[in-house]
Structure 1
Amino acid sequence: MDTAKPRLDLLRSMTDEHVLRTLMRGARATRAEIAAATGISKPTISDSVRRLTAAGLLVDTGERTTGRGRVGSYYSLAPDVGAALVVEIAPRGVTGEAVDAFGAVLARTSVPLDRAAGEARTARALTEVAGALTGQVTGGLRVAVVSAADPVDRRTGALVHLPDAPFLVGTLAPVPLLAPLVDGPVLVDNDVNWAARAEMAVGGAADVGDFVYLHLGEGLGCAVVSDGEVRRGHGGLAGEIAHLYTPGPDGTAMPFTAVFAALGLRRPSSTAVDVDALRAAAAGDDALRAVLATAVCGVLLAAVSLVDPEIAVLGGEWGADLVPDVTGRLGTAARHVPVTAGRVAEPQLAGARADAVERLRAAIVARTR
């Protein structure tokens, strides 16, 4: 069996990947700059650039080096290599972005919703957003990443209906809705999981491989990160803490979500926490802050006992407000961890966007094989 050609094809494929990934880290580069960055010889890089240009993945920008020495041509990714679709499905509406391989947002659009939108209206909003973005990018949408403010079935990508969830969209299935508009795979995950990934990358849990991220907002959620991976559980429902028992206002154990009903801090005719009312009341009421901190500590202590995190990160609209109070109470427990505030703006979108960029880059590289 002649193994020379398969070996040569593999070497060419590896070189092409090095060239593409080097160009994905910057807007443009000459063949000499790519050779210097990769440590691969200039003739080998030149051959790769010719192949990738012929394949439509690279273009000569028309720009040339100046100064002494041989003139070099600048190359960049072709403008029609496509984009990634990033979508957030939240109570306020569906927001979508088209993102390029450099992580730049090429276009953004939104369709407003309310908490009673329901499955059919949310599905229409999702396809409307994706359809609008499809027409605004050259080369089409190659991959899609969706962040949803509901639990997500890890096998199907469909949203899961749980009792008392504040944002009810039934069993909305984004994957089949987006598949006709996206050339490649569609990945769906819970918004709290995406937020935890963002905090692990550049936020309050930067470079920490074992932590819990508690989302405290209109809804209540938790992401468990172990060995650098978000643990989603058998059905994707890990971290659904709304019905975890914790001390209530009178010290009696009750579901976490019921604490806010007992305090009168829910939105009318909803299980959603009234964030504005909570923040206003807690700002001048130490007793209320103590009740909230005690309830949050009950949730964190359960997490500490079960998954042994290094730290806990509090995010969401009012999570950071309680960091001092939670830290004080948690520090007296037999087992406790440092508590810090989330630092990333729109962490759910940031986490989904970062993943989408990596998947888009992988899809571009895969076209060379």
Structure 2
Amino acid sequence: MTLAKPSLGLLRSLTDEHVLNELVAADRLTRAELSARTGISKPTIAESVRRLTDEGLLRDTGERSTGRGRAGSYFALADGLGSALAVEVTAAAIVAERIEVSGETVGRAVEEVPADPEPAAVAAALARAAERAIGTTGPARLAAVSAADPVDRGTGRLVELPDSPFLVGELDPPTVLAPYVSGRVTVDNDVHWAARAELEGGAPADFVYLYLGAGLGGAIVSDGAVRRGGAGIAGEVSHVITAGPDGRAMPFTEVFERLALHRPGSSAIDVPELLRRLAGAGAGAEPAASADAVVAAVCGVLVTIISLTDPEVIIVGGPWGTDERLLGPVVERLNGQPRRAAVRAATAAADTPLTAVRAFALTALRREVLARP
């Protein structure tokens, strides 16, 4: 069997992609340096550089190499190839960053989110942050958004679920950002972004990320991808049935209500009080009972997760989820279960969702540039 030879057009396209990739990674390179980095002959590289310059993707910087041998012109990515917008929406603030193909953050804006926010107020804050981050450069080519609420997979709108502590109403990021973004707006919840960061950081291809903070969340990673489910809310654990303080079955979120661990007038968990009870578990009956009930409830959720998803590891994040006074007893209880998985604390930093969004936006932007018109 004789294999067909690749066409001249395909070979040129591959060469151009190599050249663009090298110049994404470096500020400037000569044709000789491009040839040395790619292993492609100097004449072929020279033709590719000419072609890409004519297309407006490269520019001659006007600088010349020095030293022994023939001087060469330095080439760089052309100006105006576009930027990406990375956005994080939390209960406290909205952060928007404009990122160029080089990876440099060239614009940043922070807008506070008012307490007990109305949807219109959050939408206005999101628009202001995007406008300030974009500046006078014109719309970004694409955007990626992290939101501290469930997100509808089809529309990118925030989903209203019972007992969601950070609900900001029917916020529609793609619509709000439309004046500032010419292309696709990708929206997902913050726990899914955190799980992607753990995956990039070396987590196995099959794990579950459980977030335990003022809010409760989860993400299912299977075969190296976050599984969002039909509506985009796969992994939401607030209403998973688990053991309550009196041993009766109840939704996970209701456990904290029964233990008086909700903030006044809110379904958000009172994290400082929960940590106080974990710390005082050995010093009194009331903290010990609360701590034991929380451990039992978390274990019940994990047993369900393990039974349904068969993860290699459970990664627990969040301000009280990573506390060893919780994790130690949870692991001990799980060891007595017929089916179990390894459990460890999350390793990524507190700003993990924004970091993951930034990386996603940059990768997508570079892919667009490298694809060319």
The TM-score normalised by the length of structure 2 is 0.91
CA contact (8 A) 1:115 1:168 kept: no
Q: CA deviation at 1:12?
A: 2.4
Identity of aligned residues (%): 53
Give the one of 301, 304, 308 matched to 2:310: 308
Q: Distance in 1 between matches of 2:59 and 2:276?
A: 56
* SS state at 2:66 partner: coil
Q: Aligned AA for 1:96?
A: A
- The within-5 A match list for 1:151-162 is 151-162=150-161
RMSD (CA atoms)? 1.8
Partner of 2:96: 96
Q: Aligned AA for 1:175?
A: P
Q: CA deviation at 1:300?
A: 1.1
Q: Distance in 2 between matches of 1:167 and 1:207?
A: 28
Deviations 1:71-125 (A, max 9, x none): 2333222232221101111101211111222333222211111452121111111
* SS state at 1:312 partner: strand
* SS state at 2:250 partner: strand
Structure 1 unaligned blocks of 5 or more: 1-5
Partner of 1:281: 277
Partner of 1:3: none
Question: Are residue 220 (structure 1) and residue 224 (structure 2) matched?
Answer: no
Partner of 1:163: 162
Structure 2 unaligned blocks of 5 or more: 1-5, 283-287
CA contact (8 A) 2:107 2:135 kept: no
Q: Aligned AA for 1:196?
A: A
Give the one of 320, 338, 346 matched to 1:342: 346
Q: Which moved more, 1:280-289 or 1:182-191?
A: 280-289
Q: Aligned AA for 1:236?
A: G
Q: CA deviation at 1:357?
A: 0.8
* SS state at 1:102 partner: coil
CA contact (8 A) 2:107 2:134 kept: no
* SS state at 1:110 partner: strand
* SS state at 1:141 partner: coil
Partner of 2:285: none
Partner of 2:364: 359
RCO higher in 1 or 2 (8 Å CA, sep ≥ 6)? 1
After superposition, the Cα gap between the structure-2 partners of 1:233 and 1:82, relative to the gap in structure 1 and judged at 3 Å, is same
CA contact (8 A) 1:222 1:240 kept: yes
Q: Distance in 2 between matches of 1:353 and 1:191?
A: 13
Q: Aligned AA for 1:320?
A: T
After superposition, the Cα gap between the structure-2 partners of 1:84 and 1:190, relative to the gap in structure 1 and judged at 3 Å, is same
Partner of 2:330: 326
CA contact (8 A) 1:103 1:353 kept: no
After superposition, the Cα gap between the structure-2 partners of 1:91 and 1:47, relative to the gap in structure 1 and judged at 3 Å, is same
Q: Distance in 1 between matches of 2:332 and 2:243?
A: 16
Q: Which moved more, 1:218-227 or 1:76-85?
A: 76-85
Q: CA deviation at 1:171?
A: 2.1
- The within-5 A match list for 1:191-270 is 191-202=190-201, 206-270=202-266
* SS state at 2:141 partner: strand
After superposition, the Cα gap between the structure-2 partners of 1:77 and 1:139, relative to the gap in structure 1 and judged at 3 Å, is farther
Partner of 1:117: 117
Partner of 1:9: 9
Q: Distance in 2 between matches of 1:102 and 1:343?
A: 27
Partner of 2:54: 54
Partner of 1:145: 144
